[in-house]
Homo-oligomer: A and B are copies of this chain.
């Protein structure tokens, strides 16, 4: 078990809200290759954290249930669970497959019940959303989006995912959003066909870690900063952000994930691509002199993911809209 003290957390200066200080929550970040279970009340009070490989559906759920059961015996009453999962997910609360992972390409996971099963196993409220929506909510509750109502969290790694908060809630209509699969204008001269099995050259097919590796013949984190592939990747991610600015108008955009952590030069290049592409159509400080503060790393660093699951648990405990971070519950500064 990874002890809380061993975590490399970015410094968190906010105090724990007295409203949630004594309530213990558990979260599960479910990824395609690993899951992270987390127990605590917030970023500065993590009681336990444990990683496990994502195996078959049945094996993985049993592993998760084992950890949570053990924690309950060891640490006492848990108020609620949160699950921030790879998708696509069915989040329509009226659906008979609510809480399922649905059309995933991941073997053995198609149409598998996650949220309702954990609800039954533990008799607790379960908050359930996409991994990136969870991460965005965590930034809103504890991280660098405190005080904002509209923002987005982008991760560029094995895939490309975007969590979007509009008016204090993650976006949810027909279903959850999937910005990694939008198609963008191609950079002149880019002949790469893309690797997305659904869309070929959607953003994920063009600029995710595996796409970059397919373009360059080497894993993305190992490529030199001056490798020509970054011209294409910065362009394509700049186009993703161009679309985000015009469709959901975030007040700030967080860029995280393995590719961006390893290749921090991309921040400035993506900022330049975005500015060039918008071409001063939107005239705000944030998109001009302030762009360095507009497109930034997540405030919770690599803890955005697990804390996203914890944020969903907090929401499930508050009840009502599980996709909101309630401003009244936000830690005051």
Which residues of A are in contact with B by a Cβ distance under 8 Å? 88, 102-103, 149-151, 164, 166-167, 169, 171-179, 181-186, 198-199, 201, 239, 242-251, 277-284, 286-287
Give A168's nearest chain B residue, CB to CB.
Answer: B167
What's the dominant secondary structure at chain A's contact region? loop
Q: Looking across the interface, which residue of chain B has its beta carbon closest to that of A246? A: B178
List the 8 closest pairs (A to B, CB-CB), nearest first. A150-B173, A173-B249, A183-B185, A247-B247, A198-B281, A174-B249, A178-B246, A166-B166
Q: How many copies does the complex hold?
A: 2
Given contacts A198-B279, A248-B248, 17 further A-B contacts (CB under 8 A): A88-B281, A103-B280, A166-B173, A167-B167, A167-B169, A171-B248, A173-B248, A173-B251, A174-B251, A175-B249, A175-B282, A175-B284, A177-B246, A177-B249, A183-B277, A244-B247, A247-B248
CB-based contact B179/A247 at 8 Å: yes
Name 9 interchain pairs, CB-CB below 8 A, sorted by A.
Answer: A88-B283, A164-B247, A167-B171, A173-B248, A177-B246, A179-B247, A183-B243, A186-B186, A243-B243
Chain B residues near A182: list those with CB within 8 A. 242-243, 246-247
Residues of B with C-beta under 8 A to A149: 173
List the B side residues contacting A186 at CB < 8 Å.
Answer: 185-186
Looking at A169, A174, A281, the one whose CB has the most chain B CB atoms below 10 A away is: A174
CB pair B173–A281 under 8 Å, yes or no, is no
Query: Which B-chain residue is minimally distant from A287 (CB atoms)?
Result: B174
Task: Report chain B residues within 8 Å CB of A250.
Answer: 173-174
* Given A167-B167, A243-B243, A176 contacting B249 (CB threshold 8 A): yes
What's the nearest-Cβ distance from chain B to residue A240, in Å?
Answer: 10
Contact partners of A184 in chain B: CB under 8 A? 183-185
Is the beta-carbon distance between A150 and B174 smaller than 8 angstroms?
yes
CA distance A88 to B137 in the complex (A): 29
A277 to B184, CA, bound (A): 12
Q: Provide the residues of chain B in CB contact with A286, threshold 8 Å.
A: 174
Give the residues in chain B near A169, CB-CB below 8 Å.
167
Pick the residue among B151, B181, B199, B279 that contacts A173 (CB under 8 A). Answer: B151
CB distance from A100 to the nearest CB of B (A): 11
Least Cβ–Cβ distance between A228 and chain B, in angstroms = 22
Q: Which residues of B contact A278 (CB under 8 A)?
A: 198
Q: Which residues of B contact A287 (CB under 8 A)?
A: 174
Is the Cβ of A239 less than 8 Å from the Cβ of B172?
A: no
Indicate if the CB atoms of A246 and B181 lie closer than 8 Å: yes
Q: Are B166 and A102 in contact (CB under 8 A)?
A: no
Given that A243-B243, A277-B183, A283-B102 are contacting pairs, would A171 and B178 also be in contact in the complex, using a CB cutoff of 8 Å?
no
Bound form: Cα–Cα A201–B185 in Å: 9
User: Of the candidates B172, B178, B242, which one forms a contact with A183 in the assembled complex, judged by CB atoms under 8 Å apart?
Assistant: B242
Chain B residues with Cβ under 8 A from A179's Cβ? 246-247
Given the complex of chains A and B, what is the CA–CA distance between A242 and B198 in angstroms?
A: 13
CA distance A248 to B102 in the complex (A): 19
CB pair A247 B177 closer than 8 Å: yes
Interface pair A174/B277, CB less than 8 Å apart:
no
